[in-house]
């Protein structure tokens, strides 16, 4: 049996903390901590939509992602100073946006936009999955506020959405890779799933060598179990359980 660097069992998540109400100004906010990975997620409500939705009665949810320069082991150059966002940043923020929209009833939310900002304060692997999991909480809180203000009758979310990574580390399928595992995994995969077990997004990548279909199914099993725990944590953070 392998020993994970953190000593966790193969199917064990890191300690997950979803702390809400962390921003004085945002309409919804959450710091999502997956072990040493900490992401600040804020939701900002704007009473106007992008041009392609004007006068359709529909709303929009979008996301932006960033890493503080010293969230990483060695300092990463600031994207604002370089004057452009990396391909990786674009990839992740598009993924967060799609994930959230998959459980949002855009027609029911009215002609307004909610912008989610996911800023990584500290990184130790899995920043995109922590971002999605925390972003859902921030989004839910922003909708709660709109309901409280009687701008919406009900929260226009059809389900929960959360995300987790898995990978093949020293030949074994493991859940929720931290940085030391992530940098040495044979393959890793990110799963975005709903509270009722629907798959929203799967991204699997062989790093060292291709993986087999059987291995991929093992990862899927791990992910399903992991997502169930994350959804429980979301419910608790939101006072829904």
Q: Provide the annotated binding site for phosphate.
A: 88, 126-128
Q: Does 54 bind a second copy (CB under 8 A)?
A: no
Q: Does 144 bind a second copy (CB under 8 A)?
A: no
Question: In a 3-state reduction of DSSP, which class is residue 59?
Answer: coil
Q: Does 220 bind a second copy (CB under 8 A)?
A: yes
Size of the chain in residues: 241
Q: Does 12 bind a second copy (CB under 8 A)?
A: no
Kind plus residue range of the DSSP H or E element containing 200: strand 199-206
Q: List, edge to edge, every strand of the sheet that includes 28-34.
A: 16-20, 28-34, 37-46, 113-122, 60-67
Using CB under 8 A, pick the residue from 10, 11, 19, 68 that binds a second copy.
68
Provide Rg for the chain, Cα atoms. Answer: 18
Using CB under 8 A, pick the residue from 44, 144, 184, 229 that binds a second copy.
44
State in angstroms the smallest separation of the CB of 7 from a second copy. 18
Question: In a 3-state reduction of DSSP, which class is residue 236?
Answer: helix
> Toward a second copy, which CB reaches closer, 105 or 111?
105
List of residues contacting a second copy (CB under 8 A): 23-26, 29, 36, 40, 42, 44, 46, 64, 66, 68-75, 78-81, 83-91, 93-94, 98, 102, 115, 117, 119, 121-124, 159, 189, 193-194, 196-206, 209-213, 216, 220, 224
């Amino acid at each position: 049996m392998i020993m994970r660097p953190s000593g966790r069992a193969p199917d064990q998540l890191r300690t997950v903390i979803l702390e809400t109400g962390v921003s004085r100004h945002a309409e919804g906010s959450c710091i999502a901590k997956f072990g040493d990975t900490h992401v600040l997620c804020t939701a900002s409500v704007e009473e106007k939509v992008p041009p392609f939705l004007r006068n359709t009665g529909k709303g929009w949810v979008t996301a932006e992602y960033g890493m503080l320069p010293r969230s990483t082991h060695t300092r990463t150059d600031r994207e604002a100073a370089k004057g452009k966002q990396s391909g990786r940043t674009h990839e992740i923020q598009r993924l967060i946006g799609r994930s959230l929209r998959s459980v949002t009833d855009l027609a029911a939310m009215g002609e307004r936009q909610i912008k989610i900002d996911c800023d990584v304060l500290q990184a130790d692997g899995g920043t995109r999955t922590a971002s999605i999991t925390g972003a859902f909480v921030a989004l839910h809180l922003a909708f709660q506020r709109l309901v409280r203000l009687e701008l919406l009758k009900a929260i226009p979310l059809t389900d929960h959405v959360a995300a987790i990574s898995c990978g093949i580390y020293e030949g074994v399928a493991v859940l929720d890779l931290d940085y030391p595992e992530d940098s040495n995994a044979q393959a890793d995969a990110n799963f975005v799933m709903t509270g009722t077990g629907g798959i929203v997004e799967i991204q699997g990548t062989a790093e060292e060598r291709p993986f087999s279909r059987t291995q991929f199914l093992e990862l899927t099993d791990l992910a399903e179990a992991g997502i169930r725990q994350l959804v429980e944590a979301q419910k608790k953070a939101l006072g829904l359980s």
